[in-house]
Structures are given as structure tokens and as C-alpha cells.
Amino acid sequence: MSDENQSKDNQTSNKSKNGKTTNKPKDVKKRKIRKRKEDRIVHKIVLVIILALVVVGLIFGFSTYNYVKSSIKPLKPNSEQSVSVTIPNGSSNKMIGEILEKEHVIKSGMVFNYYMKFNNQDGFQAGEYVFSPSMSLNEIASSLKEGESGVNQAKITVPEGYDVEQIAAELAKQTEFSKDDFLDLMKDQDFFNELKEEYPELLSDAAKAQDVRYRLEGYLFPATYDYQPDMKLKDLVKQMVATTDGVMENYYDEIKDSDLNVQETLTIASLVEKEGVTEDDRKQIAQVFFNRTEANMPLQSDISILYALGEHKETVTYEDLEVDSPYNLYQNIGYGPGPFDNPSEDSIDAVLNPTDNDYYYFVADTSTGKVYYAKTYEEHNELIEKYMDN
């Protein structure tokens, strides 16, 4: 074969079936080169992103460090300003921090909260305090622990189970506020709306309730409060509502998981408060109320009649049972418009954690305070005859 023919054969063998010339070694080499270039570009992009994230992280960390550091120091080191601050009963470190930040005593309530947790600072006392923006967190914490309020104050006690009118009468005895002053404030819708805006989780259900006598009935927590002569009545009431919210924070999740809302929980608790004395009886009575409600039976609580009458007496007559009022739970099925008094935490807990039973009636021996339970009306009448009639 001639050289010319052999050259033609070689050219023919390098042709593909579609007539195009192929050169596999060169194509592979080009692809590898392109791949290396792409890899280098990807590596550069990844490196740039990592560096950017590191820089952002460092900036964020540095900014956070400076913010926390400055928040621990006095807000205004050279300030001579004095700020009166009310710390309600039952306030958590978080709540205290929020109050101090709102009153411009400290820079950050959040930093206050975590700083106190980190340093195991607790046991802060409620009261009226005079602080200054020139104080450090440690100085403020020291004052709160010692209860050094810096103002001349007294103590006012709201007994468990007192209703709004009883509280009004008690305050009139212990303070310069008259009973009418207090009751007028209880009817002040603008004041209620102001409180609702501050405590929406606590008061939203109360705002929707119909035919209530006092919207804040049930929301004035029974406790001992600080009072000084120049205190405004609104500030004293705000202490009571803030304390209720502080207590209810322990139960909001339970209420959401139950068939009740906040208003209903406090309403039943206000009945349980007066009907039972011991923890066991309160939990039993709460379940009796639930059993009757499920059976579409009126609760028939004498406490509701007394509230409907606006009287406090030992004996409820048959004539009293006819009083025309939405609070009359002999004539009306359900829990009524709202609370009948201001219950303790024990009664609130009893409503949310009742003792399971199948009773529909109960009667208390007034001489001993012991409560007897019955499943049927006949058994109930026998208990009344045995423990009440004589």
C-alpha cells in the first residue's frame, strides 16, 4: 500500500459515523482544564462567603459584647435624677427588668434578667423604690434584696375571697381613699382599657364578658401591698392586677389546653374559694361544678345568690333564690358573667387540677367545716337533714 493510500485510511478512521472528526484525548484534557477552573472559582466563592460570615459574626459578637457591657454599667453615671418605681408582688426578674427599662433606670431589661440569673440574684422584694440612672445593676439588685425602698410606706392587706366592694371598704379604713373613689375606678372603662393593653393575656376575656358588675372583679389578687401617702389609687390597683398576672403566668398554658378561658377559670375559682376551705375540698368541689355543668344542671351555689343580692349574710332564704340577676346560678345554667370575688392561687389551681369524682351535690357542716358529697338528690337531702337542719 502506498503512503498516500495509508494516509487516507488514517484520516477515514478518525472520522465519526456522523462524519465529524473526533479527538478524544484533546477533549478530555480541555474538560479537565475547565473543571479545574470551575473548582477554583467555587473555592474562591466559598472562601469569600466563609470570610464574610466570620466577619459578620465577629461584628455581631463584638457589638453584643459592647451592648451587654454598657447595659451592666449605670445608664447615666453622672445623673442626679430620682425615679420612683413600683415593683408589684410576685414580679419575676424579667418583669422587674422590663419595669426598670420602661422607667429609664437601666438600659436593658433583658440584660438585667440574664445578669441576675447568671449571678444567682433573686429574692427581690416588692414595693415602692426610688432609683437613679446613675446606679449599677449590682446596686439596684442590692436595694431590691434589702427592700430599701427609699420612701415612707405602709402595708395594706387584701384578704382572700374579698369582692370589689369589700376591698373598697377595707381600703377606706386603711388609706385616704374613700369607698366611692375605689368603686368609681372599678367602673372606669378607660382605666380598664389601659390595663387590658398592658395585660392582654389576663384581661382580654374579661373585656368580652357581658353583664358583669365590675370588670376587675376576680383580678385584684389577695395579698399584702405597699402603700405610701402620696400614692395614686390607680397605682395601687395596678399593683393588684400586676400581681394577678404574675400568678396567672403559671397557669396560662394550662388554661389554653383546657375547655376554659381566663374569665371562666377565675369565675369558678371565686366560687370554690368560698365553698371550700381545704385544698382537698376545693379540688372536689371544682369537679362537682364541672359534673353539674356537663349534665346541664345549674351550679346552685349560695355564693352566687349573695353576690346577686349584694349582701353578706349567713342564711340564704327561698325568696333570695328568686333574685333577678345574671349572677343567680340557681336560675341560670353556666358559670355566670364573671368572678364573684377575688380568689387565691389555691382555688385557681383547684379549678385547673380538680380531683376526679362522680358527685353532683355537696353540703358543709357549718360547725366543723367538713364537706359531705353525694351522687344523688336523695343522698344530698339526707346529708342536709343530718348535718344542717339541726
Of the candidates 328, 54, 112, 66, the residue with the CA atom closest to the CA atom of residue 213: 328
Dihedral sign, Cα of residue 151, residue 155, residue 156, residue 157 = positive
The last residue of a domain, from among 188, 215, 248: 248
**Angstrom distance (rounded) from CA 332 to CA 347:** 23
Q: Within a domain: residue 70? A: no
Task: Tell me how many domains the chain contains.
Answer: 3
Are residues 317 and 275 part of one domain? Answer: yes
Amino acid at 179: K
CATH classification of the domain holding 111: 3.30.1490.480
Q: What is the predicted pLDDT for the residue at 335? A: 95
Q: Are strands 154-157 and 224-227 parallel, antiparallel or unpaired?
A: antiparallel
The parent domain of residue 232 ranges over 155-248
Which residues in 252-286 are b (16+ Cβ under 10 Å) and which e?
Answer: eebbeeeebbbbbbbbbbbbbbbbbeeeebbbbbb
Contact in structure between 306 and 316 (CB atoms under 8 Å): yes
Q: Are residues 266 and 344 in the same domain?
A: yes
Both 109 and 204 in one domain: the answer is no
* 350/370 same-domain check: yes
Residues 172, 199 within the same domain: yes
Q: Are residues 132 and 199 in the same domain?
A: no
Same domain, 162 and 142: no
Which of the listed residues 207, 224, 248 is the one where a domain comes to its end? 248
What pLDDT tens digit does each residue of the chain (390 aa) get?
Answer: 444 544 444 444 444 444 444 555 666 667 777 777 777 776 777 777 887 777 777 776 665 666 666 677 788 887 767 687 888 888 888 999 899 999 888 888 888 888 888 888 888 888 878 888 888 888 888 888 887 654 455 778 899 999 999 999 999 998 889 999 999 999 999 999 999 999 999 999 999 999 999 999 999 999 988 777 778 899 999 989 999 999 999 999 999 999 999 999 999 999 999 999 999 999 999 999 999 999 999 999 999 999 999 988 888 899 999 999 999 999 999 999 999 999 999 999 999 999 999 999 999 886 788 899 999 999 999 998 888 765
> Is-above-0.85 flag for pTM?
no
- Examine the domain organization and report whether 371 and 350 are in the same domain: yes
Cell of 106: 437601666
Q: Which residues is 83 bridged to in the sheet?
A: 131
Cell of 28: 478530555
Q: Is 369 exposed, middle or buried (0-12, 13-18, 19+ CB in 10 A)?
A: exposed
Q: For residue 56, tell me if it sits in a domain.
A: no
State the SS3 of the chain: CCHHHHHHHHHHHCECCCCCECCHHHHHHHHHHHHHHHHHHHHHHHHHHHHHHHHHHHHHHHHHHHHHHHHHCCCCCCCCCCEEEEECCCCCHHHHHHHHHHCCCCCCHHHHHHHHHHCCCCCCCCEEEEECCCCCHHHHHHHHHHCCCCCCCEEEECCCCCCHHHHHHHHHHHCCCCHHHHHHHHCCHHHHHHHHHHCHHHHHHHHHCCCCCCCCCCCCCCCEEEECCCCCHHHHHHHHHHHHHHHHCCCHHHHHHCCCCHHHHHHHHHHHHHHCCCHHHHHHHHHHHHHHHHCCCCCCCHHHHHHHHCCCCCCCCCCHHHCCCCCCCCCCCCCCCCCCCCCCHHHHHHHHCCCCCCCCEEEECCCCCCEEEECCHHHHHHHHHHHCCC
pLDDT of residue 69: 67
- Classify residue 229: in a domain, yes or no: yes
In a domain, 335, yes or no: yes
Examine residue 359 and state whether it is found in any structural domain, yes or no. Answer: yes
| Domain shared by 166 and 132, yes or no | no
Domain limit, last residue, from 128, 146, 164: 146
Q: d(Cα 348, Cα 343) in Å, to the nearest integer?
A: 7
Angle of CA points 218, 219, 220, to nearest 5°:
100
Residues 268 and 379 in one domain: yes
The verdict on 263 and 383 lying in the same domain is yes
In a domain? residue 10? no
- 51 domain residue, yes or no: no
Lookup result for grid cell 395579698: 223
Residue 61 lies in a domain: no
Whether 297 and 334 map to the same domain: the answer is yes
